[in-house]
Structure 1
Amino acid sequence: MAGTGTEGEDELIETTFAPLAAGFQGALGLKDDCALLAPPPGEDLVLTTDAVAAGVHFFPDDAAADIAWKALAVNVSDLAAKGARPIAYLMSLAFPERPERGWLDAFAGGLADAQAAFGIGLAGGDTDRRPGPFSATITAIGSVPTGRMVRRATARPGDVLFVSGTLGDSALGLLLRQDRELGGVLGLDEAETRHLIGRYLRPEPRLALAPALRGFASAAMDISDGLVKDCGRLARASGVSATLDSARVPLSGAAQRALLQRPALLERVLTGGDDYEVLAAVPPDRAEAFRAAAAAGGVAVSEIGHVATGSGITVTGPDGRALEIGAAGWDHFPH
């Protein structure tokens, strides 16, 4: 794990990050400038990278352990949606000033928890100091049997659209994180409020869904920028159209209660992002097998729409009519 070469940074790497690399032999104890990775026999490597930055992806005063978990989870979620098994990751950290030891220890603890949960190890990276907010950039590496990565550009007309888990929890959790009084307004009890905020702070990649995706899905991707926007991306990449039934979008009990109090929050559920669930297109004759395989892995999936010829995406309301959606989802570079 490279750095600026200062004594303080070398100590930081040796004491804080080298223990996180102990489970990945190719990290070489973080004592070299590069790591070594041989693709598993008969498998392809799958690579993805995402950054999280204070003030954009998390609050500067979020717990260090939660920041670390999220930074790794959002990358592993991409691997899960491709049907991949996590292997290792590279991490680059940019600090505006020297971090306190207690914060670093908590950050490393969050990474250790996430590594254990996701079955992945640190392979190397970089630390530096630069102006601006703290950011963590991670490149995650996984593997799939040769030729079996599930792409987003291969959905076909007639496919059924499924999502894993429940949607909107994280988007609502962000609202609650911004306004501590909102939970009472929405009629949420303390446990429901904690659940929604927890889903925002600590996404859970659907790794157990990977075998079902490889076995039965035509296409898949993770939902990071909102269901509507990411479904539109899948449809556009595949050269098809998609229809989503908002009445069939799976909601947690806490989200259901919030929407009963404020139905207009449905658009936030559909577009808010940070779900890190999986959107999958499955041929209709494989839909039941996909459900069964997902259930065998302990992952709930819900049918929410279908793919057809044409282009564009339509979202229908409870009455079957098309909804007018404002912003389809998160965009770092809005027009």
Structure 2
Amino acid sequence: MALAGEFDIIARIFAPLAKEAGALGLKDDAAVLTVTDDHQLVVTCDTLVSGVHFLKDDPPGSIGYKALAVNLSDLTAKGAYGYVYTLSLALPRETDMAWLEAFAAGLAEVQDRTGISLIGGDTTATSGPPTITLTALGLVQHESAITRLGAKPGDRLYTNGTIGDAYLGLKLLQDASLAEAWGLSDGDVDYLTDRYRRPPIDTGAALLIRNFAKAAIDVSDGLAADLEKLCGVSHVGAEIQIGRVPFSPAAQKGLGAMPALLRDLVVAGDDYAALIAVSETSAARFESEAESHGVPFVQLGEITDAADGVRLLEQGGRVIALERKGFSHF
């Protein structure tokens, strides 16, 4: 029998093994384990494979940076701060020390910015592509972790990052001629490719998420897909006003030259922003706190009844039809 979709595999094969309540039925991006009376441990794990999650000729420093940053994105969406992590590497035998040193420098850059540190792992040789598995552990005060469960109709939806930059950066790395077609400057190209290789890290968002969010998820598989995941766990619907979706100046240039890119940007992965639901009564205070902390959360839309489904709306209320919702591992 061929492999089914990622989430079907998890639900049918692995969820029955997740007996610990903190595993959340494997329906979330991280487990939440109570370790003391005062704190919970948030655990998340990601695997990056060359040719799938990064390009084989990407600089090793950016690969190390990305491997750690994507895990921190999961922790931030839980309202947690990075504590420690483990690292497992499967590398071709011909990998040299210079590559490893640069890879470690990328990890060190993230550690210096966030305070997280390495505690162990494993290294092995492989005849296949380089594969990186990183497990990050974060800390949050007892019963303060934010999961995908908790959104209610009327809640407002916010994100703290621009959408689609990494997708455009990947396309530019694959085909440099697109820069001219999209009307991009050299600086725009550098910005977009850097967003693909070095996801944004916004640890300042964790406190705001913990204090205000009713439900949250990080946008890694695409805005539409990850919103649908959050709504599925919370048993709600949602609508996003496409005119409110934040696009960087570089992405806006691309959209101006090729408006059809819009459907790609809202389903593309690798954004690594937080998507959160905040109650309507707390929204004004949340926006004020976010502004005072310099964390650029933008309201996208609101949570609705489950019967409404997840809808992306153009100006005038017309629903945008999407052929796919986001990145799928299978």
TM range (shorter): 0.7 to 0.9
2:89 aligned with 1:93, yes or no? yes
SS at match of 2:286: helix
1:42-66 deviation line (CA, Å, top 9, x unaligned): 1111000001110000000000000
Q: Does 1:259 align with 2:255?
A: yes
User: What's the CA shift string for 1:121-166, capped at 9, x where partnerless?
Assistant: 0010000012210011000000101000011111111100001121
For the 8 Å contact 1:81–1:210, the answer to whether it is kept is yes
TM-score by length of 2: 0.87
* Corresponding residue of 1:219: 215
Report the Cα offset of residue 223 of structure 1: 0.2
Matched residue SS, 2:122: strand
1:62 partnered with 2:58? yes
Which residue of structure 2 aligns with residue 16 of structure 1?
Answer: none
Contact (CA 8 Å) 1:165, 1:299: kept in 2 or not? no
> Offset of 1:108 from its aligned partner?
1.0
Match of 1:22 in 2: none
Q: Radius of gyration: which is bigger?
A: 1
CA RMSD of aligned residues (A): 1.3
Alignment size in residue pairs: 296
Does structure 2 conserve the Cα–Cα contact (< 8 Å) formed by 1:98 and 1:129? no
Identical positions, percent: 42
Match of 2:152 among 150, 156, 181: 156
Name the CA distance, whole Å, in 2 between partners of 1:59 and 1:103.
Answer: 14
Runs of 4+ in 1 over 4 A off after TM superposition: 38-41
| Counterpart residue identity of residue 95, structure 2 | P
Match of 2:270 in 1: 274
2:38 paired residue number: 42
Q: Please report how far the alpha carbon of residue 96 of structure 1 lies from its aligned counterpart in structure 2 after TM superposition.
A: 2.2
- State which of 242, 249, 257 in structure 2 corresponds to 1:246: 242
Counterpart selection for 2:326 from 303, 326, 329:
329
Aligned pair partner of 1:204 in 178, 183, 200: 200
The answer to whether 1:51 aligns with 2:58 is no
Matching of residue 114 in structure 1 with residue 110 in structure 2: yes
Task: Tell me by how many angstroms 1:39 deviates.
Answer: 5.2
Maintained 8 Å contact 2:161/2:271: no
Determine which of 135, 141, 147 is the counterpart of 1:145. Answer: 141
Q: Identify the match of residue 130 of structure 1 among 122, 126, 132.
A: 126
Match of 2:73 among 59, 72, 77: 77
1:295-315 superposed Cα distances (whole Å, 9 cap, x missing partner): 233210111111111242111
Cα deviation for residue 225 of structure 1 reads 0.2
Q: Which deviations, in whole Å up to 9, do the C-alpha atoms of 1:60-110 show, x marking residues without a partner?
A: 000000000000000010000100011000010001224111111111111
Runs of at least 5 residues in structure 1 that lack an aligned partner in the other structure: 1-37
How far the C-alpha of 1:118 sits from its partner, in A, is 2.1
Task: State the distance in 2 between where 1:177 and 1:296 align.
Answer: 36
What per-residue deviation string (whole Å, max 9, x for no partner) do you get for residues 246-273 of structure 1? 1110111111111000000001110011
Q: Are the equivalent residues in 2 in contact too, given 1:81–1:206 (CA < 8 A)? A: no
Q: Is the partner of 1:195 in helix, strand or coil?
A: helix
Unaligned runs of 5+ in 2: 1-33
Confirm or deny: 8 A CA contact 2:61 2:103 kept in the other structure: yes
Given that 2:156 and 2:303 are in contact with CA atoms closer than 8 Å, whether structure 1 keeps it comes out as yes
SS at match of 2:159: strand
Q: 1:177 deviation in Å? A: 1.1
